[in-house]
């Protein structure tokens, strides 16, 4: 078996900084208790859990004194998206006159973590919930903020979109969309699954009301961690989506009205959160500029190799690919090959070269449909189901130039051999 070369950081990052594993081992071995209760170990775990909130608040530019309490721990980005969407829309449906629809805006670029909860609301509530999906230009891979503005109606409650595409890696004009939403009094939910830990995120400067984030991708924490940041005041127009014990104010029949407890029933993923906390501190210590500098260097190398006249034969990178576009991207690259379907290409990368990639629709069916690599394209019955989507490679802070060179050589070999086989037919 060839050495494993991990190129699936967009799914979850690997490896994690050693301090993450150490913190989790320390918790498992020495502390091991819940964050709820009164004895000394509980107080220590509770302090460490809150320290993680504080570190996340620092990283996302939430500067108000109570910001850490507005960081709600979730299982992952998807869980945070569900809390934001169902919490906000559930409240709007309950409190607005029945005659008034609730309108939500998202985009064709978005991940199923936005699309599916919104689809469920439309299905469940019929005409009371209306959805607009803003299109994007497949050539630029970038959303037009004015399209969001044009879609806003007096009934619009929420605009939900992503900060960086998990298909093309293109960074979206989130700050401009946020400013438009703020001007129109529409809540803005940003999915930072592919951006946080890679590029700066400043919730205040970007007009973000709700930030959904994974703990386990760019933040370098363990799987099973994520968070939703809620702008102060917005919690008053959000329903809870899960209820239960909080260890405080247990005499109340209802959930407490203060954060984070209101949205965090049950025991925490303490071992995961303590690992995440060290990961966030590691990022703060390294400095995002330095981490971004390393990624930009690798992004430029990958773009130079996968695009232009010397690109591997038959290979097409989704989205713009000029090396000068490096700064407009995160380290996520999806490509198709004229002579091999994405699943076969990904399989060969693994079995022949140990390169771990991700093939398929990347939970972004509408994005792939827009780019001609989605289900609509496969309606052509001559294309097998495995032809859906693309093959994706994604880098992280521990990816080296040597790893990139090996992965790119593997891609070139596979594409060249496939082209030669095709010629020989």
Ligand X SMILES: Cc1ncc(COP(=O)(O)O)c(C=O)c1O
Which residues of the shown chain bind ligand X in the complex (CB under 6 A)?
10-11, 76-78, 111, 113, 162, 166, 191, 193-194, 214, 226, 363
Q: How far is the CB of 379 from ligand X (least distance, A)?
A: 25
Q: How far is the CB of 193 from ligand X (least distance, A)?
A: 3
What phi, psi does 68 have (nearest 5°)?
Answer: -55, -35
Q: How far is the CB of 11 from ligand X (least distance, A)?
A: 6
Is 194 or 240 the residue whose CB approaches ligand X more closely? 194
Is 76 or 240 the residue whose CB approaches ligand X more closely? 76
- 191: β partners: 162, 212
In the DSSP assignment, the letter for residue 403 is H
Question: Taking every pair of C-alpha atoms in the chain, what is the biggest distance, in angstroms?
Answer: 77
What phi, psi does 193 have (nearest 5°)?
Answer: -55, -35
CA 181 to chain centre: 20
Nearest to 312 by CA among 411, 168, 421: 411
Is 283 or 410 the residue whose CB approaches ligand X more closely? 283
Q: How far is the CB of 187 from ligand X (least distance, A)?
A: 18
Is 144 or 191 the residue whose CB approaches ligand X more closely? 191
Residue nearest to ligand X (CB): 166
Nearest to 6 by CA among 364, 326, 350: 350
Is 107 or 281 the residue whose CB approaches ligand X more closely? 107
| 370 class by beta-carbon count within 10 Å (0-12 exposed, 13-18 middle, 19+ buried) | buried
Is 11 or 337 the residue whose CB approaches ligand X more closely? 11
Q: How many residues does the chain have?
A: 425
257: CB partners within 8 A, 6+ apart? none
Q: How far is the CB of 140 from ligand X (least distance, A)?
A: 18
Q: How far is the CB of 154 from ligand X (least distance, A)?
A: 29
Q: End-to-end alpha-carbon separation of the chain, Å?
A: 30
Q: Dihedral through CA 348, CA 315, CA 390, CA 159, nearest 10? A: 150
| 218 class by beta-carbon count within 10 Å (0-12 exposed, 13-18 middle, 19+ buried) | buried
329: CB partners within 8 A, 6+ apart? 164, 168, 169, 170, 171, 299, 319
Q: How far is the CB of 329 from ligand X (least distance, A)?
A: 14
Ramachandran category for residue 61: left, alpha or beta (phi over 0 → left; psi -120 to 50 → alpha): left
Is 11 or 186 the residue whose CB approaches ligand X more closely? 11
Q: How far is the CB of 345 from ligand X (least distance, A)?
A: 20
Burial 270-297 (b: 16+ CB within 10 A, else e): bbbbbbbbbbbbbbeeeebeebbebbee
Is 106 or 246 the residue whose CB approaches ligand X more closely? 106
Helices assigned H by DSSP within 76-204: 77-95, 112-125, 145-151, 174-184
Q: How far is the CB of 167 from ligand X (least distance, A)?
A: 8
Q: How far is the CB of 181 from ligand X (least distance, A)?
A: 19
Is 79 or 149 the residue whose CB approaches ligand X more closely? 79
């Amino acid at each position: 078996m060839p050495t494993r070369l991990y190129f699936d950081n967009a799914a979850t990052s690997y490896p994690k900084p050693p301090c993450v594993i150490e913190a989790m081992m320390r918790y498992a071995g020495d502390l091991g208790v819940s964050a709820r209760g009164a004895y000394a170990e509980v107080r220590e775990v509770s302090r460490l859990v809150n320290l993680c909130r504080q570190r996340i608040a620092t990283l996302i530019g939430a500067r108000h004194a109570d910001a850490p309490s507005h960081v709600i721990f979730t299982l992952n980005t998807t869980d945070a998206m569900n809390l934001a969407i169902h919490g906000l829309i559930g409240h709007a449906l309950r409190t607005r006159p029945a005659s008034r629809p609730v309108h939500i805006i998202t985009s064709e670029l978005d991940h199923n973590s936005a699309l599916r909860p919104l689809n469920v609301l439309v299905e469940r509530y019929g005409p009371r919930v209306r959805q607009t999906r803003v299109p994007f230009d497949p050539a630029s891979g970038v959303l037009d903020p004015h399209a969001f503005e044009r879609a806003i109606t007096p009934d619009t409650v929420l605009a939900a979109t992503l900060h960086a595409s998990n298909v093309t890696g293109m960074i979206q004009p989130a700050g401009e969309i946020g400013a438009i939403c703020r001007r129109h009094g529409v809540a803005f939910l940003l999915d930072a699954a592919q951006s946080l830990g890679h590029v700066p995120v400043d919730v205040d400067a970007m007009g973000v009301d709700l930030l959904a984030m994974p703990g386990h991708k760019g933040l370098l924490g363990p799987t099973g961690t994520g968070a939703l940041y809620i702008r102060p005041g917005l919690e008053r127009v959000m329903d809870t989506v899960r209820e239960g014990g909080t260890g405080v104010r247990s005499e109340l029949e209802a959930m407490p009205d203060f954060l984070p407890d209101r949205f965090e029933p049950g025991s925490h993923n303490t071992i995961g959160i303590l690992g995440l906390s060290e990961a966030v501190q590691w990022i703060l210590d390294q400095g995002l500029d330095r981490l971004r500098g390393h990624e930009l260097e690798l992004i430029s190398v990958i773009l130079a190799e996968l695009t232009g006249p010397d690109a591997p034969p038959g290979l097409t990178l989704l989205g713009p690919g000029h090396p000068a576009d490096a700064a407009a991207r995160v380290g996520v690259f999806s490509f198709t090959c004229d002579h091999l379907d994405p699943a076969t290409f990904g399989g060969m990368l693994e079995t022949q070269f140990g390169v771990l990639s991700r093939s398929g629709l990347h939970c972004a069916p509408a994005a792939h449909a827009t780019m001609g690599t989605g289900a609509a394209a496969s309606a052509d019955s001559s294309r097998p189901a495995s032809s859906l989507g693309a093959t994706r490679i994604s880098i992280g802070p521990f990816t080296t130039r040597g790893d990139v060179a090996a992965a790119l050589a593997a891609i070139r070999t596979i594409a060249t051999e496939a082209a030669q086989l095709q010629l020989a037919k």
